[in-house]
Amino acid sequence: MIFENCDIPDVIKIRPKRHSDERGYFVELFREDLFKVHAGDIGFVQHNQSLSRPRGTVRGLHYQVAPAAQGKLVRCLQGAILDVAVDIRPASPTFGRHVAVELSADEDTHLWIPDGFAHGFCTLVPDTVVWYAVTHAYSPADERGVLWNDPDLAIRWPVDASEATVSERDARQPGFRTLSHET
Catalytic residue, candidates 63, 110, 132, 136: 132
Q: Indicate if the pLDDT at residue 74 is higher than 70.
A: yes
Q: What is the phi-psi region of residue 142: left when phi exceeds 0, alpha when psi lies from -120 to 50, beta otherwise?
A: alpha
The pLDDT of residue 179:
78
The pLDDT of residue 183:
54
CB atoms within 10 A of CB 108: 20
Q: Is 131 exposed, middle or buried (0-12, 13-18, 19+ CB in 10 A)?
A: middle
Catalytic residue, candidates 62, 98, 119, 136: 62
Domain range list for the chain: 2-178
- Strand partners for 133: 47, 73
> Whole-prediction pTM value?
0.95
Higher pLDDT, 182 or 147: 147
Is 25 a catalytic site residue?
no
Q: Which CATH architecture group holds 2-178? A: Sandwich (2.60)
Please report which confidence band the pLDDT of residue 178 belongs to, taking 50, 70 and 90 as the band edges.
confident
Please report which confidence band the pLDDT of residue 181 belongs to, taking 50, 70 and 90 as the band edges.
low
Is 132 a catalytic site residue?
yes
For 15-42, the pLDDT digits (tens) are: 999 999 999 999 999 999 999 999 999 9
User: What is the distance between the alpha carbons of residues 182 and 27, in angstroms, rounded to a whole number?
Assistant: 38
User: What is the distance between the alpha carbons of residues 104 and 102, in angstroms, rounded to a whole number?
Assistant: 7
For 110-119, the pLDDT digits (tens) are: 999 999 999 9
